[in-house]
Structure 1
Amino acid sequence: MQTIKVNGYDMAYLEVGQGHPLVCVHGTLGDFRTWYAVLGPLSKKHRVIAVSLRHFFPEHWNGVGDDYRMARHVDDVIAFIEQITPRPVDLMGHSRGGHICFRVAQARPDLLRKVILAEPGGDFDPSLDPTVKPGAPSALAARVLLSVNKVREGDIEGGLQNFVDLIDGEGSWRRLPAAAKQQLRDNIYTLLGQAHEARKPYNMADMLAIKTPTLLIGGSDTTGSLSTMWREMAKHIAGAKTAEIAHARHWMFEQDPEGFCRAVTEFLAG
């Protein structure tokens, strides 16, 4: 593990392999360990740099403070990439990390060669989904709030079970191996910050602003909005490519590392 100081914060990261830099950004309750299953295969042809965002493991944050914001994490990733050479880099993000990578591509396309978004999180505004009521929380956000409330009440296991089962189906938390459960526990209080991070919804202008070659990836068995958003985004991002990982869900790179790495490496080589 190494660190780079970005915006006054020591951002931790793992770096393996040689070749063109591929910066990887984890999602909710993740950290640089999120990518363990694919670090080996991807590092055969790429210099893979997996980061831990502000307030995630190895930091053990207590949830106190007001600097857990989507905009702060976007700025941190930009500042991190600015210290990586050579540039432009390839950038990959999963879930909430996919949203961060989307915003980096929107704000600083000069830093990026290609972008990979694995079931990016977030919400649409009415310009992308006419059924959306401005200001109203999405069904997914409402369920996540249940997990947040459980954590606030001290029910860590209940909050984690609700979150994981919401994303990957009933019984998913129970089936997770011990190491995966511990990683989520290590980052549990970041969920409190996410409840108030002022994340902006995507709009049509955002989609049209993305000019960096983009791949959107999803699992064939993912359910809910996460299963449809990446497909809809691909319709509006110029030249976007898509890949579906068969028989996989939201954490597709853990459930089918070989299929996920094949899709990523083919896109980066093209």
Structure 2
Amino acid sequence: MPATLPKVLVETARAKVNLTLSVLGRRPDGYHELESLVAFADVGDEVTLQVDAPVGVTVSGPFAGAIDSENIASRALRAVAEAAPSLRLGGVAIEKKLPVAAGIGGGSADAAAVLRAVRRANGAQASEVDWPALAASLGADVPVCLMSTAQFMWGIGRETASLPGIPALPAVLVNPGVPLATGPVFQALKAAPAPERDALPALPGPFTDITSAAEYIRLRGNDLEPAAAGLCPAIGTVLAALGAEPGVLAARMSGSGPTCFAIFGTALHAEAAAERLRAHNPGWWVVATTLT
């Protein structure tokens, strides 16, 4: 292995935001057929791979204590070891800055960041691995998080298409501090059987500006929002607060919640809104960000 390959690699596990989410129905295998416009925030967990250190995962940071099951990042390391035993691995340290069970793909983003770090750590030898397939084996959201750029996803999330024309979107993310598991939200939705898909979905856009993208987000919405709000009334409170902010163009829930987001016309509007929301709601996690 060439000595020039890095031994310490840092990846940002960017928060995944479902700008829209349509649930077409429940499949016979129990998964749900979806269509979703996804973008990624410029905030996330920090994932560090120390090559040749003992293989394992440690977690620190403000939300580390909320992880109550095996970290998917550990499964990512094992999956790489099984798929390509000759690749260099090591110890992974995650600084958990994103809320857990929050509808912004934190665990999936962590696993994807581990895969990206291992891929970088192994240079040309990494080409022996089918990284998208490995990501898909870890979870439905991991493939899109592996790319970490704006995508349109469908099926159960493993089919994706890049959307290079989407504008950078000034936004605010808000989590009310209440975890919400995905499973109960889909159960509450009680989706009908999914129809047979006979064609590829129509991709959104191209969007000419922030306003046109926000209009699409507002009109398409998130089919899980009513079910999630029924289980977690704080979602309605957050959406009302976001919708009342000056300069807001669209406010929706991300994924299965409870994190919500708002798109603003300018970054200044987003930053001012975040400052006000933090001041009035000290128990909320609030960040101004840019979605790309």
Do both proteins adopt the same fold according to a TM-score greater than 0.5, normalized to the shorter chain? Answer: no
**Bigger helix fraction:** 1
- TM, length-normalised to structure 2: 0.29
State which structure, 1 or 2, has the greater radius of gyration over its C-alpha atoms.
2
Larger relative strand fraction: 2
Structure with more contact order per residue of length (Cα contacts < 8 Å, sep ≥ 6):
2
